[in-house]
Amino acid sequence: MQDTWDDFEAFYEETRSPVFRAVLTASGAQRHDAEEAVAEAYARAYLGWDKLQTHPSPAAWVVRTAFNHRISMWRRSRREVRATRDTPVTDAESLDGGLTELIARLPRGQREVLALRILLDLSTEQTAAALHVSEGTVKTQLHRALAALRRQLSVHEPRKEPA
């Protein structure tokens, strides 16, 4: 039992922040809701750790479970959470939360691929295995997500006319 706990603790320490970033950015949840969803998902991961260790990507499983839990929380509260953050983004090149808000408007399939492929840095193969889809679907979803973000960003920001 102690070995199981030690294994889980190592997994938790290694993955918790990347998983949280993936859920916070790609689920459209507020920070508090994302924390709740991620904590719940890790607790369920611990309960099923014996089986989960053989999963192609346990971290991807936690992200998906957190996504599901967030939808469940939304249903309980009967409101949709807005994709805004309580914590200001400090990166100089950030888009002041605008990008996160646009990501939140993508279909769930695209957001999941974005979360696993980009934010969790899984390979196409690992992402496909975690989502039970083909590698082609992962590539298509990612392409569509990025293309949609490009389109939405160009709509949100007026194009400058050349002088």
Partner 1 sequence: MNHDEIDPGVIRREAAGEEFDVPVGDIRKRARRIRTRRRAAALLAPLALAAVAASGYATMRADEVSPNSVVCHAEPRTIGDQVVVTSNGANPIEVCAGMWRDGDVNPSVTEAPDLLACTDEAGVVRVIPDDGDASCSKLGMQDLPRGYDESARRYIAMRTELVRRFKAAGTPGTTPADEACLTRDDAFTVVRTTLDREGFEAWRITAHDGGPCWNFLSFDDLGKTIGIHSSDPGMEKLPYSTS
Structure tokens at 149: 């973000």
Q: Cα(93)–Cα(70) distance, rounded to whole angstroms?
A: 28
Q: Cα(152)–Cα(117) distance, rounded to whole angstroms?
A: 21
Long-range CB contacts (< 8 A, 24+ apart) of 139-143?
141/109, 141/110, 141/112, 141/113, 142/110, 142/113, 142/114, 142/117, 142/118
CB of 65 to partner 1, least distance (A): 8
Question: Of 45-74, which residues contact partner 1 (CB under 8 A)?
Answer: 46-47, 65, 68-69, 71-72, 74
Instruction: Give the residue, chosen from 90, 158, 161, 162, that forms a contact with partner 1 under the rule CB under 8 A.
Output: 90
Instruction: List residues binding partner 1 (CB under 8 A).
Output: 5, 9, 12-13, 16-17, 19-22, 24-25, 35, 38-40, 42-44, 46-47, 65, 68-69, 71-72, 74-76, 78, 80, 87, 89-91, 93-95, 99-100, 103, 107-109, 114, 117-119, 146, 149-150, 153-154, 157
